Amino acid sequence: MKKYSFVPLFIAVSLFFVFLFFPNRWLEYFISDKKVQQAATSLSPLMFQGDYLQGRMLADDKYFPIYGSSELSRFDPFHPSNFAEANNLDYTPFLIGRGGTQSLILFMDLASQADQLKGKKIAFIVSPQWFITEGIDNAHFEPNYSMLKAYNLAFNDTIDPELKREAIRRILQFDVVKRDTILTTLYEDEISPSKEHHWKAKLVRPLAYMKKKLLEKKDLYYAAFGFPNRAHHQDNDLVRNKSWEELLEEASNYGKERANNNPYFMDNDYYNHNYAPIEAKLKGYKKNATFSGSLEYQDFQMVLDLFKDKGADPIFISLPINGLWYDYAGLPIEVRNEFYQSIVDQVETAGFPVADFSGHEYDPYFLKDPMHIAWKGWVYVDQALIEHWKR
């Protein structure tokens, strides 16, 4: 007769309860200020999709959070993180975002920390590549989606109710959310109140709350023990104790050494790998592209509304695309200028300042490829950040 051992099951269940009931304050003991400092440039999904490290950052007046997407990972000596460290500035940039993050993902992140936004200096980088007609799609939403932040939104009673409902309607369009029956039950009760939805939500709410608490505990464990320490060492001497004119000259020289084999001032390696083999086929390929009618504008408006509702102090940084390349690709300059102006109008209507860099479309070494800022571009951003910090 076969004998069954319950020891492995007992051990597994015991470990689960240790994980679940291990006091949060004991876990927080392992999360030092140094770990928060390391998180500032890590661009780790563990930090970005969690809450604890960002909460610690927002509670510390020395941090200047910068929200954006893939441009944040374009490290060079002029990058805001390196520039601030090299010059011992009285703020430390904290980078939040990665490739594929757009307004909706960043809204969910900010909403999860909404009660800490009042009076907080923030920079928010707006990228033209977000504003395709359909806005963010499933392929970009799902890898950046945070279940913890989605559940936090369901239980958040501090943000404007209409803004919350608008966000929930939008989030419910994505497959990863539709697959979560517990979450969708809570969300549907928010946007379509009825007796049926209400009773379903009432039944699942305890399960949802337990799931939220498990996700919070998991976030704490990641922050304490699972966090990568990634350093981005750069040449501080290039940017230390120099005037803006000297910095622009250094950045131009730095870019000139790396972007000199193509007429678009793209980084040589990037151009050789991505565009040189197929350049002839891409002539005019963007002639029918447009920024108008994108769902991204509505998602971006939710970010603006949240900042206004919570009394944050943001500056918006509107980036250009590479004018030389997009002339070749056939995207009319009138279409581009209309987009840039629409961003300025949207931000200023909300009552916030915007650093509009659309005039640098043709500025050599402002960008390192068709759309990512680098070198000279970072110098201008550094200046805008300092001015906003002191304002």
Does 8 fall in a domain? no
Q: How many domains does the chain have?
A: 1
What average pLDDT is seen over the chain? 93
Is the residue at 4 inside a domain?
Answer: no
Percentage of the residues of the chain whose pLDDT score is greater than 70:
92
Q: What phi and psi, each to the nearest 5 degrees, are found at residue 313? A: -125, 75
Model pLDDT, residue 231? 64
Whether 290 shows a pLDDT value over 50: the answer reads yes
* Residues 321-365: tens digit of each pLDDT: 999 999 999 999 999 999 999 999 999 999 999 999 999 999 999
Residues 168-186 pLDDT 10s:
999 999 999 999 999 999 9
- Answer yes or no: is 162 within a domain: no
pLDDT at 15 over 80: no
CA separation for the pair 56, 102 (Å, rounded): 23
Q: What pLDDT digit, counting tens, does each position of 366-390 carry?
A: 999 999 999 999 999 999 999 999 9
pLDDT, residue 30, reads 79
Residue 221 lies in a domain: no
Query: What pLDDT shows up at residue 28?
Result: 79
Q: Which residues of 134-171 are buried (b: 16+ CB within 10 A; e: fewer)?
A: ebbeeebbeebbbbbbbbbbbeeeebeeebbebbbebb
Report if residue 226 sits inside a domain: no
> Does the pLDDT value for residue 162 go beyond 90?
yes
Residue 3 has pLDDT above 60, yes or no: no
In a domain, 185, yes or no: no
121 domain-assigned: yes
pLDDT band at 25 (very low <50, low <70, confident <90, very high): confident
Residue-range definition of the domain harbouring residue 51: 22-145+234-390
Write the DSSP assignment of 36-81 as a string of letters.
Answer: HHHHTTT--HHHHT-SHHHHHHHTSTTEEEEE-SGGGG---TTSHH
- Across the strands, what pairs with 121? 313
Taking 50 as the threshold, does the pLDDT of residue 1 lie above it? no
Least confident of 68-72, 93-97, 164-168, 226-230: 226-230
pLDDT greater than 90 at residue 230? no
CATH number at residue 136: 3.40.50.1110
The whole-number pLDDT of residue 195 equals: 84
pLDDT over 80 at 146, yes or no: yes
Per-residue pLDDT, averaged over 80-98, amounts to 97
**Across residues 281-310, what is the average pLDDT?**
97
Residue 276 domain flag: yes
Q: What is the pTM of this model?
A: 0.93
